[in-house]
């Protein structure tokens, strides 16, 4: 670009998106004189889903603002807890976030998940159609304009991913109410209703069951129940009273 020069300073939380040479303090950026500030921010590597207020010369401006020579731009991080207006808070996760999807469902958070790679256009279209917040580590996907809303998942570790999403959005937690396999709602079930899914040892040992209203999967307090309880208790202790 060969136009007006501006100075852009990113919040510390956003600097990991930037090339190494731009990570410290305000840096000069040459613009083309016609692109919006939102376009400039994304061209520097930061998805707009991660940008909070855009402040130019001390005053907040929209992403559609066109920078002029000498502008001093501050790109702040998203304010937490982030509000997503216009729809019940629910999520859509891409193929790489299966463990996070199951943990959100364990906590009763409405979470759609694509177990196969259906492509960015289809994911963005589903986000818009169902008004779901797209969670992904794919910056290109998060730049798609048709998204309802989106957020970058910063960590590769499921426990850190879960904590970050809960801290950022503060969804209402209703543990043990959703199917971790399909996101359907659970109901109490008798042993007779789910006996075709039970092996001999399970049928003899357990008497309390739940079943998914959507896919029919049966649930009981099996061998991994203590691990799941620990996940639920940690989430409730930290986030249940902070909405």
Task: Label each residue of the chain as H, E or C.
Answer: CCCCEEEEEECHHHHHHCCHHHCCCCEEEECCCCCCHHHHHHHCCCCHHHEEEEEECCEEECCCCCCCCCCEEEEEECCCCCCCCCCCCCEEECCCCHHHHHHHHHCCCCEEECCCCCCHHHHHHHHHHHCCEEEECCHHHHCCCCCCEEEECCCCCHHHHHHHHHHHHCCCCCCCCECCCCCCEEEEECHHHHHHHCCHHHHHHCCCEEEECCCCCEECCCCCHHHHHHHHHHHHHHHCCCC
The residue whose two tokens read 């029919």 is 216
pTM of the model: 0.91
Asked if 99 and 158 touch (Cβ cutoff 8 Å), the reply is yes
User: How does pLDDT run across 148-193, given as a tens digit for each residue?
Assistant: 999 999 999 999 999 999 999 999 999 999 999 999 999 999 988 8
Does the pLDDT value for residue 77 go beyond 70? Answer: yes
d(CA 41, CA 86): 26
pLDDT at 203: 72
pLDDT at 240: 84
Residue 205 scores a pLDDT above 90: no
Angle at CA 88, nearest 5°, toward 86 and 91? Answer: 110
Q: First-to-last CA distance in the chain?
A: 44
Q: Kindly tell me if the per-residue pLDDT of 230 is higher than 90.
A: yes
Q: How confident is the model at residue 23 (pLDDT cuts 50, 70, 90)?
A: low
For the purposes of burial, counting CB atoms within 10 Å of the CB of 140, is it exposed (0-12), middle (13-18) or buried (19 or more)? exposed
Higher pLDDT, 120 or 243: 120
List the beta bridge partners of residue 210: 188, 219
Q: pLDDT tier at 21 (50, 70, 90 boundaries)?
A: low
């Amino acid at each position: 670009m060969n136009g007006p020069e501006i100075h852009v300073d990113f919040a510390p939380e956003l600097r990991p998106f930037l090339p190494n040479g731009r990570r410290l303090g305000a840096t000069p950026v040459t613009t083309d004189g016609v692109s919006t500030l939102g376009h400039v921010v994304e061209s520097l590597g930061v998805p707009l889903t991660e940008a909070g207020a855009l402040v130019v010369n001390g005053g907040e401006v929209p992403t559609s603002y066109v920078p002029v020579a000498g502008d001093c731009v501050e790109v702040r991080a998203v304010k937490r807890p982030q509000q997503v207006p216009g729809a019940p808070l629910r999520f859509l996760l891409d193929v790489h976030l299966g463990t996070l999807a199951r943990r959100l469902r364990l906590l009763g958070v409405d979470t759609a998940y694509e177990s196969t790679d259906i492509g960015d256009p289809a994911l963005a279209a589903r986000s818009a159609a169902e008004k779901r917040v797209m969670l992904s580590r794919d910056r290109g996907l998060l730049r798609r304009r048709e998204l309802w809303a989106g957020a970058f998942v910063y960590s590769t570790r499921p426990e850190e991913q879960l904590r970050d999403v809960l801290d950022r959005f503060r969804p209402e937690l209703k543990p043990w109410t959703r199917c971790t396999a399909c996101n359907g709602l659970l109901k109490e079930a008798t042993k007779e209703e789910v006996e075709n899914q039970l092996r001999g040892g399970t049928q003899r040992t357990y008497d309390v069951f739940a079943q998914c209203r959507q896919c029919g999967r049966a649930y009981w307090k099996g061998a991994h129940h203590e691990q799941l309880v620990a996940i639920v208790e940690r989430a409730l202790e930290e986030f249940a009273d902070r909405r």
